[in-house]
C-alpha cells in the first residue's frame, strides 16, 4: 500500500505543492503510515488523490482511542452529480464505516442566494440526484444527519448570528474578493456554522470534526479555524480537521465541470452516452501509435487513467499493471479506453439499478423546507 | 379630542416636517379622525406625539372589518428601560386591547453582535427589566409572542437567508453608512425578518402588520417595504404599516438617553432619585419669575411638560389647563415641578409594586436562549 504506488501517486502532487508552502496544508503522506497501522487507508489516500491535510492527527487519535468523531460534508446542488463529485462521498462512506457520525449539509441557502438557483430545482437536485447517488454508492442511513441550510435547528442559526460579531468585512474580502454581497456574506457565515456546529452539545458534542474537501474549499476551512479560535473560550470551539483531494481531470483535459457536458460523466449518465464520452476522451497518448509504442504513454496526464485511478479500479495491483502497460507502450489508448469503457458501464449499470430505491430513501430522510 | 389640542399638539411637529417632505411619511392627523370614528385614539395620538404614519389605512380597514392584525415591536436591551422607551409599549398595549396580536422581538443578536454587549446581561435586562416593565404597564400575555432573535423558529431564519439574495451592499451602505460590518449586516437582515415574518402562515399569516417606532427607525421600515415588494410574488409579502412618535426630551434638554443618567428616569428608578431628577430638570421657564409672570412659560420646550403630556396626565382637559396655566404665566416652574413630581412618584410607586409579579411572568413566557 501507499509507498509502493509512488510512481503515479506522488508526481501529480507537484501542482499542489504551493498549498503546502503558502497555506500550511501538510502532505497526507505524513499521516498515511500512522493511519495504516490502525486501518487500511482508503484507495484515494493510498493513491495520493487525498494529498494534504490539516490536523488529521486528531482523527488518528480518535480512531486509536475509539472516541467518537464526525465528518462534515456539503452538497451544492447545481448541475447533476458527476464523477468529479464522487471522491468526497467515497471518503465519507469510508469514515462512516470506521464509525464516524456523518453530517451532510445541503447548501440550499447558498445555492439560492449566491448562485441564484430556483428553490424547487435545488431541493429536487439535492434529494433525487446527489443524496440518492450518495446512498446508492453505499452511504448508510445510520449515524447520518442530512439537513438543509434553510431548515435546521436554532442553535445552528444562533452560531451564524454570534459569529457575525467577530469577523470583519476586510478579512472576508481578503478571502472571498472585493465583490462580497450580502448573499455571499451570509453564505460564508453559514458555512462557518456548518463546519463548526457538530461540536455543540445539541448536535452531539463532537470534539473531532473532519471536513474532506477539494483545495478550492480551503479558504472556508482557514476562516473556520480562525473563528473557532475566536470562540474557543466563549463556546469552547476547536479547530476542525480537514483533508484535501485532487480535482478529477475532465475528459476534455480541463477540470471536470457541469458547465461543459463533454468534460463530465454524470452518475446518472445513460450508458450509451457514458460509453461514447469516454471513447472520445482526451488521453495521455502520443500523436501516433508508433511513437507511443516507442516512448510509452503519459498516464499522469490522462483523463482516462484518472477515471481508472480515482474510480474504476479497486485493486492497486491491477492499476499498477495498467500504469506500466501504458508507460511502457505495451497498451495503446484504444485498447485502454475499451477496457475503461467496460468498467465504467459495469459500474454505472450496477449503480443506476440501486438509484430507484435510493431516491425513495433520500426523500424519506431529508427534511424538506416548508416554503 | 385631537383638533381641540392643536395648540400644543401640532407645534412640535414642525421639526419632523422634513420626514413628510423627504421620506413620504404622512401626517398622522390625516387618519386620526377616521380612527376616532371606530375607537377612541390613544392619548399619544390625540396629543400629536404619534405624528406620522405609513399605510395606517390598512390598520383602520382591519379594525373596520374586524380582521386580525398584528403589531411588531422590539426590545433593544442596552441600558435600563426609561420613560423615553415607554411610548412605544403604551401604543402596543392600546392595540392589544383593540384585539391585535403582539410580536415582541428581543434584539439579542443585534445587542451582541453590533453593540457588543454581554449575552448574560442582555437576557437579564430584556426579561427582568424591559419585558417585566411592559407587563407591569398592562401588556397582557394573551395574543402575545415574545421571542429572542437567537432562539426562534426556522421559517424566521429562512427569511433572513432568502432576503440576502435581493439586497445589495450599496443600498445597505446608502441606508446604514459605509462602515457596514458583518454584524450590522446580519442585524439588518434579521430586522427585515422581524418586521415581515408575522405575514408567514406559520406565524399566523397576518396581512396587516403595524410597526410603531421613533423616526430614527424609519430606515429599517423603508428597507422592509422594498424587501416586501421584491418578495411579493415569491413569498406573497406585503408592505408593513408604521407609525412614528416623537422622542421624549431628556430632563437635561437633549434626547432622553441611557448614556446620560441625568437625562432619564428609569421605570425602576428609586423614588427618591426620580423625585430629585425631576426637580432638577430643565424647564421652558423664563430667566426670572417676574419675566415668566409677564410673558408666560414655553411648555413646547419644557421636558417637564413633555413628561406630563407623554406619560403623567391622562386627562386631556387637565393637560390643557396646565398648558394654559404655564403659557399665561399663572403657574411658575417650581409649582409645576412639585405637581409633576407628585404624579411621577405616584405612578412609579404603583408601577414598581407590580414589578415583582411581572418579573415572574416575564421569565415564564420568555424562551431563553440555550447557550
Contact A154 B158 (CB under 8 A): no
Q: Is B113 on the interface with A (CB under 8 A)?
A: yes
Contact B151 A167 (CB under 8 A): no
Task: Identify the closest residue of chain A to B154 by CA–CA distance.
Answer: A151
Q: Is B371 on the interface with A (CB under 8 A)?
A: yes
pLDDT digits (tens, 9 = 90+) for B197-250: 999 999 999 999 999 999 999 999 999 999 999 999 999 999 999 999 999 999
Question: pLDDT confidence of B6, banded at 50, 70, 90?
Answer: very low
Q: Single out the residue of B149, B236, B159, B211 nearest to residue A151, CA to CA.
A: B159
Q: Is A182 on the interface with B (CB under 8 A)?
A: yes
Looking at chain A, how many residues does it have? Answer: 371
Task: Identify the closest residue of chain B to A111 by CA–CA distance.
Answer: B165
What is the distance between the alpha carbons of residues A291 and A299, in angstroms, rounded to a whole number? 15
Q: Which residues of A touch B164 (CB under 8 A)?
A: 109, 113, 182-183, 185-187
Give the count of beta carbons closer than 10 Å to the beta carbon of residue A323.
22
Mean pLDDT of B340-348: 98
pLDDT of the residue at B11: 44
Q: Classify the phi-psi angles of A329: left when phi > 0, otherwise alpha if psi is within -120 to 50, otherwise beta.
A: left
Considering only CB atoms, A113 lies closest to which of B161, B172, B187, namely B161
Q: Which residues of B touch A171 (CB under 8 A)?
A: none
Considering only CB atoms, B185 lies closest to which of A182, A202, A371, namely A182
Q: Is A22 on the interface with B (CB under 8 A)?
A: no
Q: Is B175 on the interface with A (CB under 8 A)?
A: no
The terminus-to-terminus CA distance of chain B in angstroms comes to: 50
Contact B182 A162 (CB under 8 A): no
Q: Which residue reads 415572574 in cell numbers?
A: B360
The helices-and-strands tally (H runs, E runs) of chain B is: 19, 7
Chain B residues 187-216 with CB within 8 Å of chain A: 187, 189-190, 200-202
Q: What is the dihedral of CA A17, A21, A24, A25, to 10 degrees?
A: 0
pLDDT of the residue at B134: 98
pTM (2 decimals)? 0.93
The 3-class secondary structure across B308-360, one letter per residue, is: HHHHHCCCHHHHHHHHHHHHCCCCCHHHHHHHHHHHHHHHHHHHHHHHHHHHH
Mutate to test the interface with B, among A123, A158, A197, A368 (most CBs of B within 10 A): A158
Q: Is A157 on the interface with B (CB under 8 A)?
A: yes
Considering only CB atoms, B150 lies closest to which of A153, A158, A369, namely A158
How far from A298 is each of A292, A324, A340, A341, CA to CA, in Å? 9, 10, 16, 19
**Low-confidence residues of chain A, pLDDT below 70?**
1-15
Considering only CB atoms, A164 lies closest to which of B154, B157, B183, namely B183
pLDDT digits (tens, 9 = 90+) for B39-73: 999 999 999 999 999 999 999 999 999 999 999 99
Q: How far is CA B331 from the centre of its chain?
A: 31
Q: Partners of B32 in the beta sheet?
A: none
How far off is chain B from A165, nearest CA to CA, in Å? 4
The secondary structure element, H or E, covering residue A7 is helix A6-9
Q: Is B186 on the interface with A (CB under 8 A)?
A: yes
Residues whose CB falls within 8 Å of the CB of residue A214, separated by 6 or more in sequence, listed in order? A88, A244, A245, A246, A247
Q: Which residues of A touch B190 (CB under 8 A)?
A: 161
CA atoms within 13 Å, Cβ hemisphere of A187: 23
As a whole number, the mean pLDDT across chain B is 94
Going from N- to C-terminal start, the domains of chain B cover: 2-248, 261-353
Question: pLDDT confidence of B19, banded at 50, 70, 90?
Answer: confident
Q: Is B158 on the interface with A (CB under 8 A)?
A: yes
Spatial strand order of the sheet with B26-27 comes to B26-27, B50-54, B241-245, B209-213, B70-75, B101-106, B144-148
DSSP for A242-257, please give it. Answer: EEEEPPPBPTTSSB--
pLDDT of the residue at B273: 98
**B210 contacts B242 by C-beta, under 8 angstroms:** yes
Contact B155 A371 (CB under 8 A): yes
ipTM: 0.91
pLDDT of the residue at A16: 74
Cell readout for B218 is 424609519
Q: How far is CA A290 from the centre of its chain?
A: 38
Q: Is A70 on the interface with B (CB under 8 A)?
A: no
How far off is chain B from A116, nearest CA to CA, in Å? 7
Q: Which residue reads 472556508 in cell numbers?
A: A220
pLDDT of the residue at A337: 98
What is the distance between the alpha carbons of residues A316 and A83, in angstroms, rounded to a whole number? 19
Contact A157 B162 (CB under 8 A): no
How far off is chain A from B339, nearest CA to CA, in Å? 47
Q: Quick one: DSSP state of residue B260?
A: S
Q: Single out the residue of B357, B359, B312, B363 nearest to residue B336, CA to CA.
A: B312
- β pairing state of B101-106 and B70-75: parallel
Q: Which residues of A touch B370 (CB under 8 A)?
A: 155, 202
**A182 contacts B185 by C-beta, under 8 angstroms:** yes
**A209 contacts A54 by C-beta, under 8 angstroms:** no
**B268 contacts B238 by C-beta, under 8 angstroms:** no
What is the distance between the alpha carbons of residues A353 and A350, in angstroms, rounded to a whole number? 5
Q: Which residue reads 459500474 in cell numbers?
A: A347
pLDDT of the residue at B175: 85
What is the distance between the alpha carbons of residues B60 and A204, in angstroms, rounded to a whole number? 51
What is the distance between the alpha carbons of residues A171 and B31, in angstroms, rounded to a whole number? 49
- 3-class DSSP state of B303: helix
Helix axes B154-163, A154-163, angle to 10 degrees: 40
For the cut 70, the answer to whether the pLDDT of residue B9 exceeds it is no
What is the distance between the alpha carbons of residues B260 and B136, in angstroms, rounded to a whole number? 25
What is the distance between the alpha carbons of residues B301 and B246, in angstroms, rounded to a whole number? 13
CATH number of the domain located at residue range(s) A261-353 in this protein: 1.10.240.10
pLDDT digits (tens, 9 = 90+) for B82-125: 999 999 999 999 999 999 999 999 999 999 999 999 999 999 99
CATH number of the domain located at residue range(s) B2-248 in this protein: 3.40.50.620
Contact B370 A165 (CB under 8 A): no
Contact B168 A161 (CB under 8 A): no
Burial zone of A140 (CB within 10 Å; 0-12 exposed, 13-18 middle, 19+ buried): exposed
How far off is chain B from A21, nearest CA to CA, in Å? 31
- In this structure, of A73-77, A161-165, B10-14, B309-313, the range with the lowest mean pLDDT score is B10-14
Top CATH class, A2-249: alpha beta
Amino acid at each position: 500500500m501507499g509507498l509502493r504506488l509512488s510512481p503515479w501517486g506522488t508526481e501529480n502532487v507537484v501542482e499542489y505543492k504551493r498549498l503546502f508552502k503558502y497555506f500550511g496544508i501538510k502532505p497526507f503522506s505524513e499521516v498515511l503510515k500512522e493511519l495504516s497501522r490502525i486501518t487500511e487507508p482508503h484507495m484515494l489516500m493510498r493513491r495520493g488523490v487525498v494529498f494534504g491535510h490539516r490536523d488529521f492527527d486528531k482523527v488518528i487519535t480518535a480512531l486509536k482511542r475509539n472516541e467518537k468523531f464526525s465528518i462534515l460534508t456539503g452538497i451544492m446542488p447545481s448541475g447533476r452529480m458527476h464523477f468529479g463529485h464522487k471522491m468526497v462521498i467515497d471518503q465519507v462512506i469510508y469514515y462512516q464505516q470506521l464509525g464516524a457520525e456523518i453530517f451532510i449539509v445541503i447548501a440550499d441557502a447558498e445555492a439560492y442566494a449566491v448562485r441564484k438557483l430556483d428553490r424547487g430545482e435545488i431541493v429536487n437536485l439535492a434529494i433525487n440526484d446527489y443524496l440518492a447517488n450518495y446512498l446508492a454508492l453505499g452511504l448508510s442511513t445510520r449515524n447520518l444527519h442530512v439537513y438543509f441550510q434553510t431548515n435546521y435547528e436554532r442553535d445552528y442559526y444562533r452560531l451564524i448570528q454570534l459569529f457575525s460579531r467577530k469577523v470583519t468585512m476586510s478579512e472576508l474580502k481578503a478571502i472571498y474578493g472585493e465583490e462580497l454581497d450580502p448573499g455571499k456574506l451570509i453564505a460564508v457565515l453559514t458555512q462557518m456554522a456548518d463546519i463548526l456546529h457538530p461540536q455543540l452539545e445539541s448536535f452531539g458534542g463532537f470534539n473531532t470534526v473532519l471536513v474532506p474537501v477539494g483545495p478550492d474549499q480551503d479558504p472556508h476551512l482557514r476562516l473556520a479555524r480562525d473563528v473557532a479560535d475566536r470562540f474557543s473560550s466563549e463556546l469552547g470551539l476547536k479547530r476542525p480537521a480537514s483533508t484535501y483531494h485532487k480535482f478529477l481531470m475532465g475528459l476534455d483535459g480541463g477540470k471536470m465541470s457541469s458547465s461543459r457536458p463533454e468534460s463530465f460523466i454524470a452518475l446518472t449518465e445513460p450508458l450509451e452516452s457514458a460509453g461514447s464520452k469516454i471513447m472520445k476522451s482526451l488521453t495521455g497518448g502520443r500523436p501516433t501509435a508508433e511513437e507511443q509504442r516507442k516512448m510509452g504513454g503519459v498516464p499522469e496526464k490522462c483523463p482516462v487513467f484518472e477515471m481508472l485511478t480515482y474510480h474504476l479500479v479497486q485493486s492497486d495491483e491491477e492499476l499498477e499493471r495498467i500504469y506500466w502497460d501504458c508507460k511502457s507502450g505495451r497498451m495503446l489508448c484504444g485498447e485502454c479506453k475499451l477496457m475503461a469503457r467496460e468498467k465504467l458501464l459495469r459500474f454505472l449499470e450496477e449503480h443506476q439499478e440501486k438509484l430507484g430505491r435510493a431516491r425513495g430513501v433520500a426523500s424519506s430522510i431529508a427534511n424538506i423546507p416548508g416554503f
